[in-house]
Amino acid sequence: MPSRWLTSVAALAVAGYGINAYVVQARDRRLAEAHQAEQVDLERRRQYEALADVYGGRSTLEELEQAVAHYGKK
């Protein structure tokens, strides 16, 4: 009878370890994906702000000339 218990306990321990390893890996993957998405969002926001700075409000002739000069570079 003790060998049956030992087999059952060992099987439960292996299953518990496997479940725990999967949960930890899934959590780490979600955190990495969230971090990458945040970095992409920050870069997109930085590019948008740089573009907004270049094009400006176009309320003055100088801002409009800068926007045209920047557009001409592309």
Q: What is the pLDDT of residue 26?
A: 97
* Span 34-69, pLDDT tens digits: 999 999 999 999 988 887 777 766 677 777 777 778
The structure's pTM equals 0.57
> In angstroms, rounded to a whole number, what is the distance separating the alpha carbons of residues 33 and 39?
10
Residue closest to 67 by CA, chosen among 39, 59, 41, 27? 59
Could you tell me the CA-to-CA distances from 39 to 8, 12, 33, 35, 45 in Å, in that order?
A: 47, 40, 10, 6, 10
Query: Which sign does the torsion angle of CA 59, 60, 62, 68 carry?
Result: positive
Q: What is the pLDDT of residue 56?
A: 66
What pLDDT band is residue 30 in, cutting at 50, 70 and 90?
Answer: very high
* Span 4-29, pLDDT tens digits: 889 999 999 999 999 999 999 999 99
